[in-house]
Amino acid sequence: MEIYVYDNKLFRKGTIENHTSLQWHRKYYDCGTFELHCPITQENLRLLQPGNIIAIKDKKEAAIIRGDQTEEESNLVNEIVRTGYFLPIIINDRLTGPLLNFTGTAEEGIRTLLGRATAIPLLEIASGTGDQTEVTFQATYKKMLTYISKLARIAEVGIRIRPDFQAKKLVFETYKGIDRTQKQGENTRVVFSEKYNNLNHAKHTYSDAKYVTSLVIGGPGEGENRTYVTIGGGSGFGLREDFLDAKEVSKDGLTDEEHLEALKAKGMEYLKEHAEIEGFEAEAEPDVNFIYGKDYDLGDKVTIQKKSWNTRHDLRITEICEVYEYGGMYVVPTFGDALPETIKLDE
């Protein structure tokens, strides 16, 4: 497998063919990561400089060398280790700007945030998928990628930046996975189970450690003049109450009713972040029974059956780690949410 290297203007600098390991970790709602190991050579040192972009043939994503980088020479190893993030990391370099009150679809919210950000070189914003999930939020000088990832989760759309190396542009786009569960009849069904030998080294995760069912949201103001609103419910042992301090949800430019809706929307985001979490991880051969990239891909909903655990779930593939080692390749899908998996809108 060849790894192509480009500069930040999308001009090709060269090719790496002698890597020993590559982990290409794709994420549906967020920014993926990579880790590359290859021998120390003058050519590899020249190519693998921070800020350069690496890409794999026929992949829609690409990644930037950024973060911790090492070279190590000893009796045991003689290698370069490069790490970094998929292209959406450049969105994280921008803030959301001054106060924005937004009501509309989640995808419109994403494009609105990107449209008001300080310009990113080469970036174009593609039209959305047409998803009609409605949101209400406020944003004031927060990390752009945090907000966009949160909106993507609400609408269940994936985000990515697709490089167009010929046109020398970066295209931000949202996309939707395909329903391939057993319960539907329109698309090819995909099942991960012992029966199909594609649920190897399975790991089931569940957590209700942060589970909240009823939430009191406190808006701006002091004492008797402070605004409060309650959402959610529950009773008996099923009731888990919490309080959210949301003084930062400004009333500027809003009616009383709109302000209450903004507080409720903030609370709903909190409840989503503090829901029960369940997921599966497993190793899968990319071409056994169901072919990765053809029969299923990142973002698709599939059926997971683990007979020995008496479980069956329809879950979205939220992450896929492609591992290239020793001339072979296998994938590790994550179905549902990995633990921990919390995006806080205020970070």
H/E stretch holding 268 reads: helix 256-273
pLDDT tens for residues 184-211? 999 999 999 888 878 888 888 888 999 9
Contact between 131 and 176 under an 8 Å Cβ cutoff? The reply is yes
| Residue given tokens 């779930």 in the structure block | 313
pLDDT at 289: 85
pLDDT tens for residues 81-119? 999 999 999 999 999 999 999 999 999 999 999 999 999
Instruction: Return the CATH class of domain 91-175.
Output: alpha beta
Residue-wise DSSP of 185-197: SSS---EESGGGT
pLDDT tens for residues 215-234? 999 999 998 889 999 999 99
pLDDT at 269: 87
Contact between 291 and 281 under an 8 Å Cβ cutoff? The reply is no
Give the integer Cα–Cα distance in Å for 61 and 55.
7
pLDDT at 111: 96
pLDDT at 21: 96
Instruction: Among 21-25, 175-179, 331-335, name the one with the lowest average pLDDT.
Output: 331-335
pLDDT band at 253 (very low <50, low <70, confident <90, very high): confident
CA-nearest of 228, 253, 246 to 98 is 253
Give the integer Cα–Cα distance in Å for 339 and 209.
11
Percentage with pLDDT > 70 across the chain: 97
Contact between 271 and 330 under an 8 Å Cβ cutoff? The reply is no
pLDDT at 307: 85
Residue 346 has pLDDT above 70, yes or no: no
pLDDT tens for residues 48-59? 999 999 999 989
Higher pLDDT, 262 or 284: 262
pLDDT at 347: 39
Give the integer Cα–Cα distance in Å for 192 and 304.
5
Contact between 96 and 142 under an 8 Å Cβ cutoff? The reply is yes
Distance of CA 277 to the CA centre of its chain: 16
Contact between 281 and 332 under an 8 Å Cβ cutoff? The reply is yes
Q: Highest mean pLDDT range out of 139-153, 167-181, 275-289? A: 167-181
Cα atoms in the Cβ-side hemisphere of radius 13 Å centred on 14? 12
Residue 340 has pLDDT above 80, yes or no: no
What b/e sequence results for 157-185 when a residue is b if at least 16 CB atoms lie within 10 Å of its CB, and e otherwise? bbbbbbbeeeeeebbbbbbbbbbbbeeee
H/E stretch holding 307 reads: none
Residue 344 has pLDDT above 50, yes or no: no
Contact between 235 and 244 under an 8 Å Cβ cutoff? The reply is no
Query: Which residues sit opposite 61 in a β-bridge?
Result: none
pLDDT band at 338 (very low <50, low <70, confident <90, very high): low
Q: Which tokens in the block code for residue 64?
A: 């930037």
Distance of CA 320 to the CA centre of its chain: 11
Please report, for the chain, the start and end positions of each structural domain, with discontinuous segments joined by +.
3-86, 91-175, 191-207+277-317, 214-273
pLDDT tens for residues 282-310? 877 778 789 999 999 999 999 998 888 88
Give the integer Cα–Cα distance in Å for 244 and 128.
32
Residue 35 has pLDDT above 90, yes or no: yes
84 vs 145, 279, 325, CA distance in Å? Answer: 16, 25, 18
